[in-house]
Structure 1
Amino acid sequence: MKRTFFTEAAYAFGIIALALGTALMEKADFGLSMVVAPAYLVHLKVSEYISWFSFGIAEYCFQAFVLIILSLVLKQFKKKFLFSFITAFIYGNVLDLMISLVNKIDSASFFGRLLFYISGLVVCALGVSLLFKTYISPEAYELFVKEISCKYGSDINKTKTVYDCISCMTAIVMSFIFFGLWHFEGVKAGTVICALLNGWTIGKCTKILDNFFEFKDAFSFRNIFS
């Protein structure tokens, strides 16, 4: 018998998992997830001039830009887009907290860093899978994928893979512009691996969740976020 997993709890655990996974990958230094790499590059560049401009702040600033792009593509602004920015703001603050905690753990060895990278990749995928299960507006990245998938009737996992690859290429171009041609900052071999495997990993995590849990709403708030 499947256990009940409330969608509101999926939202909270999804944000925490995404923040923890990103912090682990940042600590590993094999390359971040292609989804957050552009925001990380903005953080690196702006923090050269504004020291308090953290990775978390860069995240919700960049996600605001993604929401603007989504509005232009759909030719409309939905109420859920505003809630998505609130999610991004919460995530950004949780991310900064997770980074401060993870940085206290020693991972100087290659195998330690590799463990951090693999764990981060899987935890991030789990976080995305959980956010796909909730009616509460997810981060701009996940919302972009959901909205485009609904608009064009495409498979959400395949749409996610395409989005990830585009994000990866964007991060590479940004790295060259910010830090010089052929200078890869935040975008490394691990980023490419993540771009290729992330959609597949999210699909596997989703199947595992569906096998063990039945997702239900604990509160009647779904219409607010529609």
Structure 2
Amino acid sequence: MDKKITIPGEVSFVAGLLLVSFAISLMVIAGFGISTISSLPYVLSCIFNQISFGIWNPVFQIGLLVVLLAITKRFKSGYMISIVLSVLFGMILDFFVHTLAGLPTEFWQRLLYFIAGYPLMCVAIALMVGSKIPLMIIDTFLNDLTIFFHVTYRRIKTLFDIICVVLSVLLSMAFLGHLEGVGIGTVILACITGLGVHVVNTALSKVIVIKPWSSKLGGMVK
């Protein structure tokens, strides 16, 4: 059996962060709808366009952290890293959205962007979750609520996705008069992203081992 390659968790997370930002940017240009998690910040950026899509992401996530703290009344040191990572994610996302803004937008090209974005997003999520370092606020929010309420992650994630989509639709129709960020692509991603991440995780686990350089990072999320 071939020896597996060891990749630092910090490298894995940064690679995932870059890939997911790029994938989301492609899906924004595709215009078929983006992931449920990104839909609400995107709609807010369309309504209050003085603030960019990238900046709305950490604003949204920090809001989730406030809600989490109000519910659990427990602060973890890893939350500070999560805040920094969320801000970094927003900056990278704005960079890619701006950089890719000039891409051609014929129907077949937009379809290609969406199709390419899906596997990139799955790989990105697998790398970020597998990094074993403090996750983005949104991941921490879902994980900690799962533990606090003693329910399955799937139940919390499903409820969260529904709330995000409903709010996105309501805000879009109320302020813009049409749907933004939510479409057939959103439904497709909600149905198949979990499967895609599982497939990528299985494939990656056969060839690589992800381990953080710093042993303290893993303990910060506990």
TM-score bucket of the superposed structures, by smaller chain: 0.7 to 0.9
Give the Å deviation of 1:117. Answer: 0.7
- Deviation track 1:80-123 (CA, whole Å, cap 9, x = no partner) reads 222211111000000011112222332x2222111111221221
Q: In 2, Cα distance between the equivalents of 1:13 and 1:109?
A: 29
Structure 1 pair 222–116 and aligned structure 2 pair: CA distance change class (3 A)? same
* Aligned equivalent of 2:143: 146
Q: In 1, Cα distance between the equivalents of 2:128 and 2:156?
A: 16
Name whichever of 135-144 and 80-89 sits farther off: 135-144
Is the Cα contact below 8 Å between 1:157 and 1:202 reproduced in 2?
Answer: no
Is 1:125 the counterpart of 2:127? The answer is no
Give the Å deviation of 1:10. Answer: 1.1
* Aligned equivalent of 2:112: 115
Code of the aligned partner of 2:92:
V
Structure 1 pair 135–187 and aligned structure 2 pair: CA distance change class (3 A)? same
Code of the aligned partner of 1:121:
Y
Instruction: Structure 1: give runs of 5+ residues left out of the alignment.
Output: none
The number of aligned residues is: 219
- Give the TM-score taking structure 1 as reference length: 0.86
- Deviation track 1:111-142 (CA, whole Å, cap 9, x = no partner) reads 21111112212212222221111233222222
Structure 1 pair 154–214 and aligned structure 2 pair: CA distance change class (3 A)? farther
Give the Å deviation of 1:162. Answer: 4.8
* Aligned equivalent of 1:74: 72
Give the Å deviation of 1:194. Answer: 1.2
Structure 1 pair 173–223 and aligned structure 2 pair: CA distance change class (3 A)? same
Give the Å deviation of 1:73. Answer: 3.0
Instruction: Structure 2: give runs of 5+ residues left out of the alignment.
Output: none
The alignment partner of 1:103 has SS state of: helix
- Aligned partner (choices 207, 211, 216) of residue 212 of structure 1: 207
- The correspondence of residues 150-169 of structure 1 with structure 2, limited to 5 A, is 150-151=147-148, 156=153, 160-169=157-166
Structure 1 pair 196–166 and aligned structure 2 pair: CA distance change class (3 A)? farther
Is 1:27 the counterpart of 2:29? The answer is yes
- Aligned partner (choices 43, 49, 65) of residue 63 of structure 2: 65
Structure 1 pair 199–178 and aligned structure 2 pair: CA distance change class (3 A)? farther
Name whichever of 199-208 and 16-25 sits farther off: 199-208
Q: Alpha carbon RMSD of aligned pairs, Å?
A: 2.1
Q: In 2, Cα distance between the equivalents of 1:63 and 1:20?
A: 19
